[in-house]
Chains A and B, each alone.
Chain A
């Protein structure tokens, strides 16, 4: 997190960007919920196909595992960002009152002596909060990095599902359709997580 000049435009923009990341996470969660449904569907289709596509059954089971891990990952990320939104909003509040005191300082030299201790306490509170948010930002960056790696493995699974579908005999068409759905959702998810990763890096800069 860069050291903002402390003017109100920067603080407002900082909160706006944090809120935008929160919205992006919600979008990613929506897509990952869709993948969960698709993975369940794939398992049901694999069950119907039975012995005709044992390989597909294995892949669909791994897809279900993947979607469980993804759900847990997204849950952690959501909680993390939710806390960050609150902390950035709190920082904005603290910083605003610090700037009010600075205005008083600029108006009279006498204020420097009178407000000095209060300014010191406020500056300390702001610095502590900034450090906390910086730490959370690093955690978020690692978390999103983990999401990206997870999505990349999910994409590999989707490709495997497509290959296995071909060997599904008379169920090949159905298996193929489900596999394409999985692949489409996985592509959408990976793109969203990449976009999120870019925004998180920019937010931290």
Chain B
């Protein structure tokens, strides 16, 4: 079963990572879901695919009442991000889903109706949770054409979606990056192939380098903390992406 682990706690304001299921089928890409909690309410980022709904739901239930999840945040439209949407809505029909306006008529194929989605415009938007002002940060073309990350300025945490992702081999299951130089090898192939635009990458690096970030939390792989955050941004800035065209 997946495990829920608190990665940030400041009174009623918490972040938890739902990750690392040893029973997960090998043909499913591993994913990290994050629960942002404040004043008893929560938002769930990239809730995951339908095949892992049970594992994610059960993991959350061990530490937090899933009835108090008010909204989902979908960084983009991929099935590993949001194909569990219909199941979450079966559980709580009142749930809202924050999503790029670009995918507003695509993601309903996974579930929901015309009242489910809160469209995020290309420039991003504020998202209120409890007493928090979270920010949907644009990251278009990294890799999806309509792509957002979620920033918590109080916790200084950036949920970065596929940016920062790493495909970790079996046995490498630490939730945090401990040895950056070793870890980044697992991220290189993913970023070269999945990230489609060097211009978009450059723009993102410039903007994010100016943000105060203590933890960069990707949807796949391990969390970068402290100086590893800037190490990653600098590494990504130097990397040539969009390699399928060259091939």
Residue positions of A touching B, CB distance < 8 A: 8, 11-12, 15-16, 19-20, 22-23, 82-83, 85-87, 89-90, 92-93, 96
On chain A, the residues within 8 Å of B50 by CB distance are 93
B200 located at the interface, meaning its Cβ lies under 8 Å from any Cβ of chain A in the complex: no
Q: Given that A93-B50, A93-B53, A96-B86 are contacting pairs, would A16 and B91 also be in contact in the complex, using a CB cutoff of 8 Å?
A: yes
Total residue contacts A-B, CB cutoff 8 A: 53
On chain A, the residues within 8 Å of B92 by CB distance are 12, 16
- Report the interface size for chain B: residues with CB under 8 A from the other chain: 19
On chain A, the residues within 8 Å of B51 by CB distance are 93
Interface of B is mostly: helix
B36 located at the interface, meaning its Cβ lies under 8 Å from any Cβ of chain A in the complex: no
Instruction: Give the complex CA separation of A96 and B67 in angstroms.
Output: 20
Determine how close the nearest CB of chain B comes to the CB of A21; give it in whole angstroms: 10
Interface of A is mostly: helix
* B90 pairs with A86, CB closer than 8 A: no
* A23 pairs with B65, CB closer than 8 A: yes
| Closest residue on chain B to residue A8 by CB atoms | B90
On chain B, the residues within 8 Å of A86 by CB distance are 1, 54-55, 57-58
Instruction: Give the complex CA separation of A92 and B66 in angstroms.
Output: 15
Within 8 A of A (CB), among B191-208: none
Q: List 10 A-B contacts (CB under 8 A).
A: A12-B93, A16-B92, A19-B61, A19-B65, A20-B67, A82-B62, A89-B54, A90-B54, A92-B87, A93-B87
On chain A, the residues within 8 Å of B65 by CB distance are 19, 23
Instruction: Give the complex CA separation of A20 and B66 in angstroms.
Output: 9
Contact string against A for B residues 70-92, beta-carbon threshold 8 Å, 1 for contact and 0 otherwise: 00000000000000001100111
The residue among B53, B65, B90, B92 with the most chain A CB atoms within 10 A of its own CB is: B90
| Closest residue on chain A to residue B50 by CB atoms | A93
Determine how close the nearest CB of chain A comes to the CB of B18; give it in whole angstroms: 13
> Which of A8, A83, A89 has a CB less than 8 Å from the CB of B57?
A89
On chain B, the residues within 8 Å of A82 by CB distance are 1, 58, 61-62
The 5 closest A-B pairs by CB, nearest first: A86-B58, A89-B54, A90-B54, A12-B90, A89-B57
Instruction: Give the complex CA separation of A164 and B198 in angstroms.
Output: 78
